[in-house]
Amino acid sequence: AQKITQTQPGMFVQEKEAVTLDCTYDTSDQSYGLFWYKQPSSGEMIFLIYQGSYDEQNATEGRYSLNFQKARKSANLVISASQLGDSAMYFCAMREDFGGTSYGKLTFGQGTILTVHP
């Protein structure tokens, strides 16, 4: 089974509207971290937001928020007030603890291409 699943290959949103990008994950670890990255066409992966498995509040960073539903193992990214510059590929990723031996392993999903229309 895939550890990180992003079921939306592509999404379209109108400028200034909100959009939700889906991410589900699979782990047996109790301690893990979930990340979202943005990758514009230039190639660089830009860190957006982090959610820890023990965090009780949903993470927020400016226009980005993470809708964390632990029981459903989902970590959806919500972008409010979309801007043209938000058009990019978005990746969900997970870091598992493996009893403290994970040595920085990040597992990425397949990504979702977001297109913002004017």
Partner 1 sequence: ETGVTQTPRHLVMGMTNKKSLKCEQHLGHNAMYWYKQSAKKPLELMFVYNFKEQTENNSVPSRFSPECPNSSHLFLHLHTLQPEDSALYLCASSHVLGVQETQYFGPGTRLLVL
Using CB under 8 A, list all residues that contact partner 1. 4, 31-33, 35, 37, 42-47, 50, 52-53, 91, 95-97, 100, 102-111
Query: Rounded to the nearest whole angstrom, what is the least distance from the CB of residue 63 to partner 1 in the complex?
Result: 19
CB 67 within 8 A of CB 59: no
User: What tokens were used for 58?
Assistant: 């949903």
- Rounded CA gap, 63 and 97, in Å? 29
Query: Rounded to the nearest whole angstrom, what is the least distance from the CB of residue 52 to partner 1 in the complex?
Result: 6
Query: Rounded to the nearest whole angstrom, what is the least distance from the CB of residue 115 to partner 1 in the complex?
Result: 18
Q: How many CB atoms lie within 10 A of CB 112?
A: 21
- Closest CB to partner 1 among 44 and 118? 44
CA-nearest of 38, 28, 1 to 96 is: 28
- Closest CB to partner 1 among 49 and 116? 49
